[in-house]
């Protein structure tokens, strides 16, 4: 009897690792990464309206910081890149519906979004800043000063800019817009007092249209990491993405892309 029990446990000790290995192999086969390699195509979902991350040139080409990262990603996979331009409000449902493989669209990693999708490690950290009407020079020196019913504050609907206004400036009058540029233009045209949005976009808009017309309160007042979004339950793809980020951040590729789109302004003539 003891011998039979010993044989049983020995058999269990041998078969358990084998069953775990089989389960791991099955999970790997279901990975989006495996599907990309088989297809020979990386499909990237983004909303081409967020300078300098993704935007459309005069010739109709989608370019930007995120696009160059996606190009490096496809190159590393040795597959072709396909950009799927998608409205930001519906970009998570589109990912879950398999319209594309990954979201690379200046998306802030939030707890709410993380309940629906997985994020790779942040590839850049930004925060909310303020484009202010020039008439408020000296009166408004911080975002906190805008928390008053007499001020109209704008941002883009469905973004962390909107969340920041509603959470931190609850007394202000809020106006939402479908596109970032429309909200910023509202301030430029004197129809709003301030526009709250991510530092990179506000810096670009200020350089492009706001010089001598707006005041830029450029100290970020929120912490917002941006990350690649993928469908849940895919550890192999997540592992690959994190290793990809570590590699490009240490071999010069990320630095070149950052210098071109974040600190540089040469690209502005392509989209103006």
> In this structure, are 211 and 241 located in the same domain?
no
When pLDDT is averaged across residues 232-260 and rounded to a whole number, the result is 96
> In this structure, are 132 and 218 located in the same domain?
yes
pLDDT above 60 (res 16): no
Residue ranges in 90-226 assigned as alpha helix (H)? 91-96, 111-114, 160-168, 180-188, 199-205
Other CB atoms within 10 Å distance of the CB of residue 145: 16
Which segment of 8-17, 25-34, 136-145 scores lowest on mean pLDDT? 8-17
Q: Which domain holds residue 170?
A: 128-222
Which is higher by pLDDT, 24 or 194?
Answer: 194
When pLDDT is averaged across residues 232-259 and rounded to a whole number, the result is 96
Q: Where residue 20 falls among pLDDT bands split at 50, 70, 90? A: very low
Residue with tokens 């997985």: 118
Query: Which pLDDT score is estimated for 207?
Result: 83
Domain boundary among 187, 202, 222: 222
Q: How many domains, the chain? A: 2
Of 270, 264, 126, 133, residue with least CA distance to 192: 133
> In this structure, are 107 and 237 located in the same domain?
yes
Domain boundary among 222, 240, 261: 222
> In this structure, are 121 and 234 located in the same domain?
yes
Query: Which pLDDT score is estimated for 106?
Result: 93
pLDDT above 60 (res 80): yes
Domain boundary among 205, 222, 239: 222
Q: Where residue 272 falls among pLDDT bands split at 50, 70, 90? A: low
Residue 213 lies in a domain: yes
Query: Which pLDDT score is estimated for 219?
Result: 86
Task: State how far the Cα of 116 lies from the Cα of 78, in Å rounded to an integer.
Answer: 29
Sign of the four-CA dihedral 245, 130, 182, 111: positive
Mean pLDDT of the chain: 91
> In this structure, are 193 and 238 located in the same domain?
no
Residue 4 lies in a domain: no
Task: State how far the Cα of 184 lies from the Cα of 25, in Å rounded to an integer.
Answer: 50
Residue 98 lies in a domain: yes
> In this structure, are 211 and 132 located in the same domain?
yes
Query: What is the CATH classification number for the domain harbouring 180?
Result: 3.40.190.10
pLDDT, tens digit (0-9, with 9 covering 90-100), for 87-125: 999 999 999 999 999 999 999 999 999 999 999 999 998
Query: Which pLDDT score is estimated for 271?
Result: 82
pLDDT above 60 (res 18): no
Residue 39 lies in a domain: yes
Q: Which residues pair with 231 in a beta bridge?
A: none
Query: Which pLDDT score is estimated for 174?
Result: 98
pLDDT above 60 (res 22): no
Residue 181 lies in a domain: yes
Residue 156 lies in a domain: yes
> In this structure, are 135 and 167 located in the same domain?
yes
Residue 24 lies in a domain: no
**Cα end-to-end distance, the chain, whole Å:** 84
pLDDT, tens digit (0-9, with 9 covering 90-100), for 186-232: 999 999 999 999 988 898 889 888 988 999 998 899 998 999 999 99
pLDDT, tens digit (0-9, with 9 covering 90-100), for 40-76: 999 999 999 888 999 999 999 999 999 999 999 999 9
> In this structure, are 152 and 214 located in the same domain?
yes
> In this structure, are 195 and 159 located in the same domain?
yes
Query: Which pLDDT score is estimated for 1?
Result: 57
Residue with tokens 């007499």: 150
> In this structure, are 116 and 246 located in the same domain?
yes
When pLDDT is averaged across residues 162-180 and rounded to a whole number, the result is 96
Expressed in percent and rounded to 5, the helix, strand and coil fractions of the chain are 45, 20, 30
Residue 28 lies in a domain: no
> In this structure, are 230 and 103 located in the same domain?
yes
> In this structure, are 155 and 184 located in the same domain?
yes
């Amino acid at each position: 009897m003891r011998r039979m029990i010993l044989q049983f446990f020995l058999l269990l000790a041998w078969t358990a690792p084998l069953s775990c290995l089989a389960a791991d192999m099955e999970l790997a086969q279901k990975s989006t990464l495996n599907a990309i390699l088989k297809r020979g195509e990386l499909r990237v979902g983004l909303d081409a309206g967020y300078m300098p991350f993704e935007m459309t040139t005069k010739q109709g080409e989608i370019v930007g910081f995120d696009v160059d990262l996606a190009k490096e990603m496809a190159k590393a996979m040795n597959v072709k890149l396909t950009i799927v331009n998608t409205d930001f409000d519906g970009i998570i449902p589109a990912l879950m519906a398999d319209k594309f493989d990954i979201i690379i669209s200046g998306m802030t990693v939030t707890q709410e979004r993380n309940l629906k999708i997985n994020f790779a490690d942040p590839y850049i950290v930004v925060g909310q800043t303020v484009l202010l009407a020039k008439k408020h020079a000296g009166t408004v020196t911080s975002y906190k000063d805008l928390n008053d019913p007499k001020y109209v504050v704008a941002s883009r609907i469905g973004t962390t800019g909107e969340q920041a206004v509603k959470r931190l400036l609850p007394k202000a009058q809020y106006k939402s817009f479908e596109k970032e540029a429309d909200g910023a233009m509202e301030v430029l045209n004197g129809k709003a007092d301030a526009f709250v949005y991510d530092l990179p976009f506000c810096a670009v808009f200020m350089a492009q249209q706001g010089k001598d017309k707006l005041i830029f309160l450029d100290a970020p007042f929120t912490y917002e990491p941006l990350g690649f979004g993928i469908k849940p339950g895919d550890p192999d793809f997540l592992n690959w993405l994190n290793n990809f980020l570590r590699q490009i951040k240490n071999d010069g590729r990320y630095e070149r892309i950052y210098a071109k789109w974040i600190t540089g302004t040469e690209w502005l003539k392509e989209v103006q």
